[in-house]
Amino acid sequence: MIKLESVSKTYRHKEGVVHALSDVTLSIEKGKLVTIVGPSGCGKTTLLLTIGGLVHPTTGKVSLDDKSVYDLSVKGRAELRLKRVGFLFQTFNLIPYLTALDNVCVPLYLAGKVIDEQRKRARELLEGFGLGGRLEHKPAELSIGQQQRVALARTLANDPELVLADEPTGNLDPAMTGELLSTFRKLHEAGKTIVIVTHNCQLADEGDMRLELREGRAAVRK
Amino acid sequence: MSGLNQLLPAARVVTIKQIVSTQQKTNDLMDNFALVFLVIIVIVGVVSIANYMSSNVYERRKEIGTLLAVGATPGRILKMFVLKAFILGFSGGVLGFLAGTGLAMVLGPRIAKVSVDPLPAMIPWALAIAVGISVLASVLPARHAANLDPALTTQET
Ligand SMILES: Nc1ncnc2c1ncn2[C@@H]1O[C@H](COP(=O)(O)OP(=O)(O)OP(=O)(O)O)[C@@H](O)[C@H]1O
Ligand SMILES: [Mg+2]
């Protein structure tokens, strides 16, 4: 279970301070699919990063299964991101000089899996996403939709219990969006907790819970 | 001595001792030169490798951020760059030793009229110094890489 208690995040910038999140309190039960919507700049990405152990809140507490995420050591938090949280970035962030297969191997390698095991798991995931014929392609040699599926395979490599996705349908056509939707449904059915930031109405309605953010404040709808 | 020189005005008489001491002075001078060159080379080496490593870390900051974001520990990133420095230093040492020995063997007889033989005993020294310089120069850039913000990867395009 994810719990946020009065979480605020203030970015300091030369142009002044930005209150990206203001006093956000919420809890997300295990196995739920939650969508986050709101206008651009309202703090959606910041909220997702805060939940995923990537952005230290200015004040407040984030806990995963009753363990305070930001009281962990830097190393402990890295371990958490490696094993329990999968993050699907808005811009995918694949390593440009690695092949699709090797990109998916990265978290497996970091988790200490032997090379054969890494490759087997990575191949399975990529083939499952219809990329069996693109294993040796570099990101630049793949279409946007294919890059995203490689990124999703990397996200799922260590079988995380929590999947965080930042605007996953932003660059996809309706057919691809439909496919991604069914992937998230499957993950949901498999019992994963999923939090998705989205502008897509269809996807936004998909969830068990919809969170609306406005200028850093959150309200639960539905 | 001076008597001998007067008796033999067409010749110059020197003792073995004088020859040895002159040779010794030349050798000392060459040793000092070599030491000065070594110090200069070490400094140039440290500065240029540190410079290379820093710009390498800067160019790759986004990928480093990605690795940290997907769960690499800072220690892992540190090790990655130190290993890179080790490999760089080691291969540099081997190449440098081969190139230096080859060049000395070719140029020695031509320029200084002395024959140069390879000094295999120097290989461990060459490698130790090269690896040492490379790793030393990379410590700060590697630590910088390890301490990058994992959220960095999401912020720049
Ligand atoms: N690293 C940063 N430094 C300073 N300000 C930041 C930083 N990251 C985000 N912000 C600011 O915080 C606010 C929230 O940003 P965030 O990226 O969370 O918005 P968002 O809801 O994801 O927007 P979008 O829908 O456009 O992706 C914005 O006003 C942004 O300018
Ligand atoms: Mg965003």
Residue position matching structure tokens 């079988």: A159
More confidently predicted of A62 and B34: A62
Residue B1 is predicted with a pLDDT of 67
* Environment class of A132 (CB within 10 Å of its CB; exposed 0-12, middle 13-18, buried 19+): exposed
Please indicate whether residue A45, judged by its CB atom, sits closer than 6 Å to ligand 1.
yes
Residues 56-75 of chain B whose Cβ lies under 8 A from any Cβ of chain A: 62-63, 66-75
Residue B156 is predicted with a pLDDT of 60
B57-105 confidence digits (pLDDT tens): 999 999 999 999 999 999 999 999 999 999 999 999 999 899 988 898 8
Q: What percent of chain B has pLDDT over 70?
A: 97
Q: Give backbone dihedrals phi and psi of B22, rounded to 5 degrees, phi first.
A: -65, -45
Spatial neighbors of B44 by CB under 8 A, at least 6 apart, are none
Residue B61 is predicted with a pLDDT of 92
More confidently predicted of A143 and A206: A143
CB of B80 less than 8 A from some CB of A: no
Distance CA B47, CA B56 (A): 14
CA of A7 to the centre of ligand 2 (A): 18
CA of A70 to the centre of ligand 1 (A): 20
CA of B74 to the centre of ligand 2 (A): 26
Residue B24 is predicted with a pLDDT of 87
Distance CA A63, CA A1 (A): 8
Residue A102 is predicted with a pLDDT of 97
Distance CA A54, CA B154 (A): 10
Distance CA A73, CA A69 (A): 9
Among candidates A78, A91, A111 on the partner chain, residue whose Cβ is nearest the Cβ of B68: A78
Please indicate whether residue A41, judged by its CB atom, sits closer than 6 Å to ligand 1.
yes
CB of B151 less than 8 A from some CB of A: yes
Please indicate whether residue A198, judged by its CB atom, sits closer than 6 Å to ligand 1.
no
> What is the pTM for the complete model shown?
0.86
Please indicate whether residue A43, judged by its CB atom, sits closer than 6 Å to ligand 1.
yes
Question: ∠ CA(A138), CA(B152), CA(A150), 5° rounding?
Answer: 30
Least confident of A108-117, B18-27, B136-145: B18-27
Residues in chain B: 157
For B64, name the nearest residue in chain A, comparing CA atoms only: A95
Q: What is the ipTM of this complex?
A: 0.92
Q: What percent of chain B has pLDDT over 90?
A: 48
Minimal Cα–Cα distance from B132 to chain A, Å?
28
More confidently predicted of B28 and A155: A155
Distance CA B36, CA A65 (A): 63
Residue A79 is predicted with a pLDDT of 95
DSSP structure class, residue B111: I
More confidently predicted of B38 and A69: A69
- Whether residue B134 has pLDDT greater than 80: yes
Confidence of residue A217 (pLDDT cuts 50, 70, 90): confident
* Residue-range domains of chain A with CATH: 29-45+72-220 (3.40.50.300)
- Ligand 1 atom 30 nearest Cα: A41
Residue B69 is predicted with a pLDDT of 95
